[in-house]
Amino acid sequence: MFTRMRDNIVNEIDFCLALLNNADMYICICNAISDKQVSASVANGATTLADLQAELGVATNCGCCAETAKEYLPGGRYAPVASAVDAEPPRVKHAANDPAPVFQEVVVQRA
């Protein structure tokens, strides 16, 4: 258990350092697979660890990287999040018989 906790802490530190340096971070040491490769695979449609294993070979040797790799899948801590900027604005449909919107003129006077 202590080894697993230590590995998780080391993974978190590595992740933070990689973010700070904007560098590749190896998720799977056995197969030399980076976070960017895993993210790209997820962006291309991988939704399960089995998908990542089939496409990249991640977590197919010792398996230590499996939990970290899963965090890149949809719903995981490192999964891509659609930004508000990318999202389409909500569309409001008006019925054909809706009255025209009423605008109120606002005059602001400086003191």
Q: How far is the CB of 27 from ligand FES (least distance, A)?
A: 7
Sole residue written with tokens 């906790």: 5
DSSP 32: T
CA nearest neighbour of 43 among 62, 56, 24: 56
| Cβ-based nearer residue to ligand FES, 29 or 54 | 29
By CB under 6 A, is residue 59 in contact with ligand FES? yes
By CB under 6 A, is residue 49 in contact with ligand FES? no
Q: Quickly count helices (H) and strands (E) in the chain.
A: 4, 2
Question: Which 76-105 residues touch ligand FES, going by CB under 6 A?
Answer: none
Per DSSP bridges, beta strands 33-34 and 26-28 are antiparallel
Q: How far is the CB of 48 from ligand FES (least distance, A)?
A: 16
User: What are the residues binding ligand FES (CB under 6 A)?
Assistant: 28-31, 58-65
